[in-house]
Amino acid sequence: MTLRGIPTLRSVDIQSLYLGTKYTFILYAYNREGSVASQKITHLYATAPQTPTTGPQILEYSSSQCYVQYSFVNNISGSQIISYNLQFRSSVDNVWVDLIGHDGFESLVTLYRFNVVKQASYELRFRVKNTFGWSDFGPSTSFIASDSPSKPSQITISSFSSHSISLQFDRSTIDNGGLAILTYVLEISEYLQNNYSVVVGYNGQQSYNLTVADGIVEGRIYSVRWFATNLNGQGIRSEEVIISLMDRPQAPINVWKVVELSSQTAITVAWTPVPSGISPGGDILGYKLFILNSITGEQWIAFDGVSLGLADQT
């Protein structure tokens, strides 16, 4: 624009070093009689924000919620940030959706928690705004709405002896948390020692035969447990199961009536004890005497030497 051949539009080059500086402009007009000044006008030397260089940080997530933090550092635009805009896109609909801070709803919140759909994948991104406008969106951060695997059912003992124990596992009791199961882990410890170690030979079979090759020793008592893992890490361990590496004791040889101690109202019986050293599972802890009514089929315990701690009572 010119007035009487005199240019009236001027520009000034200012180094980016001075971004954020306020400049005051005054225009003077001169003629032969003198000069007159315009009103002072102050302008902030700034630009729209630069694009964030990092994506949002996932602080915590599960199959139902996500907790995210985002921040903008090294603002060199020269103008103060007045809003953050956080968006997400999921595999459910593949559309970017504003979570917080969009136009008309500016917000300086930098921590946000929102609900998610289990097994869906998510992307998160954000941008920032100052008085000169919005930056572009920065890089995205992704995750899958999921948990670690759930707690499995207890291991089932299908059979045992002095040299092996057959274990059964029900993998259907485990919720994978929304991600594929990577491994199933079996752990064993000597009973009450809490020195669990991983059974290397087990890799997720529904049944497994624990033998001396796995490091177990005849005559000892062990506890076993198991758990599953996925990309989120280790799942919850099952409850422990106590197992003994022993054969069942041999049956007593016989039971007989002690005539001289019996009467019309009471019967006294005795039995031959299991000889010492021939019980594969170790020393006998006691005997239980059962009575069976041959007419009604009713059965009950007449003597419980195990509970009473009477190992030698015969």
Q: What domains, with CATH codes, occur in the chain? A: 2-44 (no CATH), 57-144 (2.60.40.10), 156-244 (2.60.40.10), 255-308 (no CATH)
Write out pLDDT tens, residues 43-95.
555 678 889 999 999 999 999 999 999 988 877 777 888 899 999 999 999 99
The predicted model gives 85-112 an average pLDDT of: 91
Is the pLDDT at 1 greater than 50? The verdict is: no
Q: Is 224 exposed, middle or buried (0-12, 13-18, 19+ CB in 10 A)?
A: buried
Q: What is the pTM of this model?
A: 0.63
